[in-house]
Every structure is written in structure tokens, then in C-alpha cells.
Structure 1
């Protein structure tokens, strides 16, 4: 059985790697790791001409020994990447899905 410390490390590694994929030198990728409260985010910010760009690409929390994906703006899906790393689907909650719809997925309901 995986530990919360392993989950923390997986999340931090995935967010750090994703931050390196920024394609535009005017856009900054910031990783935010609150390991005390188990909140993890990847945020993009910058400018395109006079237009401000700011948004949370990924937001994950660890709640009750499960990984809650609160926001996932990636194509691959961080849940799939976590499963590839050995995290059981029953330890991943797709928090962005409505609670009554989660039982239709292969992941935990909460």
C-alpha cells in the first residue's frame, strides 16, 4: 500500500515536470507545494501583448489518504499519470466531477 509521502512525491514530480513544458517564454509556470496541508498547484501566469494570462492548470489535494484532483487542465489527465506510477484508482478522486456522477468512473467517489 502506498503512503501519503509517496503520493506527495508523485504529485510534486508530475507538477514539476509539467511546469517544464511551457511553450512560450512570456508565460511563467509556478508550482505551489503546501506539504503541511497537502495542497499542490501548477499555475500559469504572464502576458500576451496587453492581455493578462493567469490560471490554475492543475490543483491536487491529499484528503484522508486519497488524492483529490480539484482541477486538471491537461490533455493526458494527471489521474492517468498517477495510475501509471502505481497509485490505485480507489485512491484517486476526481473532485471536479459532481459527487453523484463519480460512481460512473473507475476512480474513488470520495
Structure 2
């Protein structure tokens, strides 16, 4: 079983890599790593075409030995990236899915 420190690194890597993919210089990608309470986010902040751009692209938490994916605005899916990094599916909860539907996925139910 992986340690919490390993899971922290598995989360930080993809979030940091995605932050480098911002397509517009007026928009900043901010990574938020709260290792004390294990909250991790990738947020877009900036201005484009006279309106504010703000949104949470990714939000993950580590809780009770599981990685909870609360928000995933990516095409590939952060959970799939974590599996490629050897995180077992039984340790990943797709928190954005309703609890009664989670058992239909290959991931943990929480």
C-alpha cells in the first residue's frame, strides 16, 4: 500500500504539469497544495475578452487513505492519470459522482 506522502507526490505531479499547459498569457494557472489538510487544486485565474476567467479545473483531497476527486475538468481524467502512476483504483473515489452510482465505476465508492 502506498503512503500518504507517495499519494501527495502522485497528485502534485499531474497538477503541476497541467498548470504548464495554459494557452493564454492573460490567464494564470495556480496550483494549491495544502499538505497539512491534504487539499489540492488547479485553478485558472485571469481576464479574457473583457470578462474574468476563474474556475477550479481540478480538486482532489486525500482522506482516510483514499484520493477523492471532487472536480475534474480534464479530458483524460485525473483518476486515469493516477492509475498510470500505480495508484490502485480501490484507493480513488470519484467524489463528483452521486454516492448511489459510484459502485458502477471501477473505482472506490468512498
Band the TM-score falls in, shorter-chain normalisation: over 0.9
Shift of 1:78: 0.3
In 2, Cα distance between equivalents of 1:85 and 1:13: 10
CA RMSD of aligned residues (A): 0.5
Match of 1:93 in 2: 93
CA deviations over 1:40-88 (Å, ceiling 9, x no partner): 0000011112110000000000010100000000001000000000000
**Cα deviation, residue 19, structure 1:** 0.2
Question: CA shift at 1:10, angstroms?
Answer: 0.7
Aligned to 2:19: 19
Structure 1 unpaired stretches of 5+: none
What TM-score, normalized to structure 1?
A: 0.99
- Count the aligned residue pairs: 110
- Three-state SS of the structure 1 residue aligned to 2:52 is strand
Gaps of 5+ in 2: none
Once residues 82 and 96 of structure 1 are traced to their aligned partners in structure 2, the CA distance between those partners, rounded to angstroms, is 16
Q: Does 1:33 align with 2:28?
A: no
Distance in 2 between residues matched to 1:50 and 1:19, nearest whole Å = 23
- Structure 1 stretches of at least 4 aligned residues deviating more than 3 Å after TM superposition: none
